[in-house]
């Protein structure tokens, strides 16, 4: 009898602790949202916060599956305010070669190996639908990005360059997990490849980094060709809770981790 009483007491205490933890995490959701931009606070209305926390924790667990021996985390926030280390380069970058599941536009392209493996998966799915993905730009070093940014400054001036090119240390390409597909032009979205990616990429863990009408949030004009690999659970989270805006999700995750 005493054993049963002690067991029941233990279960009740465990339940109480879990309930208190859930309440604390729900309150944390509100605290994080309050630190985001006014537009994010207006647009991100999370009705079932308990369900959201459960989904978020699953995404954070998923991130742990990816190699971290010197590499920045898969959901690392890099933008105009958050920098990668100047000398940062992902470990064991894999050089891309022409293959069955996708084409390449140049011979000097590379990605994180785990990201390239998932590009293969998405490329195979696209191929079954009659689409061959063309990879046009991938990893860029800090120094390469510095030269590229200066090139756009020389062509368009600083103000316009800031809208279409990242300063060195702030480019997703330096992470080795972002790809520019196809023509890298505005009309890419009207091609069969662009349409396929727009409708299907998220199913394989790839999401559009700079969506239309969100330049005030991302810092960059619409880029229909630029996708970053975040993994399937995160892509689903982005679509379900963050209006399918990658920047919102990555900002939230960054604040959540550091709060």
Sort residue 89 into left (φ over 0), alpha (ψ -120 to 50) or beta: beta
Helix axis angle, 113-128 relative to 192-200, nearest 10°?
Answer: 110
Question: What's the rounded Cα separation, in Å, for the pair 196 and 208?
Answer: 12
First to last CA, the chain: 45
Mark 67-103 as b/e (b = at least 16 C-beta within 10 Å): eeeebbebbbbbbeeebbeeebbbeebbebeeeebbe
How many Cα atoms are found within 13 Å in the side-chain-facing hemisphere of 104?
17
Contact 227, 209 (CB under 8 A): yes
Q: Work out whether strand 102-104 and strand 133-137 pair parallel, antiparallel, or are unpaired.
A: parallel
Q: pLDDT value at position 67?
A: 75
User: What's the burial of 240, exposed, middle or buried (CB within 10 Å: 0-12/13-18/19+)?
Assistant: middle
pLDDT of amino acid 70? 84
Summarised one tens digit per residue, pLDDT across range 30-64 is 999 999 999 999 999 999 999 999 999 999 999 99
Q: What is the pLDDT of residue 86?
A: 81
Residue pair 149/167 in contact (Cβ under 8 Å)? The answer is yes
What is the distance between the alpha carbons of residues 239 and 198, in angstroms, rounded to a whole number?
A: 13
pLDDT along the chain (259 residues), means of 10: 54 46 89 98 96 97 86 96 92 95 97 97 98 98 96 97 97 98 97 98 98 98 98 98 98 97
Of 52, 51, 80, 75, nearest to 65 (Cα)? 75
Q: Which residues contact 5 (CB under 8 A, 6 or more apart)?
A: none
Q: The tokens 């997703």 sit on which residue?
A: 172
**How confident is the model at residue 66, as a pLDDT?**
87
């Amino acid at each position: 009898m005493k054993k049963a009483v002690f067991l029941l007491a233990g279960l009740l205490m465990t339940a109480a602790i879990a309930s208190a933890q859930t309440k604390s995490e729900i309150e944390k959701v509100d605290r994080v949202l309050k630190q985001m931009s006014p537009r994010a606070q207006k647009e991100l209305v999370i009705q079932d916060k308990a369900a959201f926390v459960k989904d978020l924790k699953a995404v954070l667990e998923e991130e742990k599956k990816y190699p971290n021996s010197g590499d920045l985390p898969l959901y690392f926030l890099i933008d105009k305010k958050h920098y990668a280390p100047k000398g940062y380069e992902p470990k064991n970058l894999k050089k891309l070669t022409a293959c069955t599941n996708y084409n390449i536009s140049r011979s000097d392209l590379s990605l994180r190996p785990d990201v390239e493996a998932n590009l293969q998966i998405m490329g195979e799915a696209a191929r079954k639908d009659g689409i061959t993905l063309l990879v046009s730009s991938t990893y860029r070093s800090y120094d390469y990005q510095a030269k590229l940014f200066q090139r756009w400054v020389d062509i368009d001036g600083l103000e316009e360059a800031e809208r279409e090119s990242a300063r060195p240390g702030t480019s997703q390409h330096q992470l080795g997990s972002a790809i520019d597909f196809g023509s890298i032009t505005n009309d890419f979205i009207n091609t069969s490849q662009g349409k396929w990616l727009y409708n299907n990429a998220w199913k394989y863990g790839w999401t559009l980094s700079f969506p239309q009408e969100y330049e005030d949030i991302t810092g960059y004009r619409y880029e229909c060709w630029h996708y970053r690999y975040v993994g399937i659970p995160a892509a689903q989270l982005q679509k379900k809770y963050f209006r399918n805006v990658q920047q919102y999700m990555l900002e939230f995750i960054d604040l959540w981790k550091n709060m």
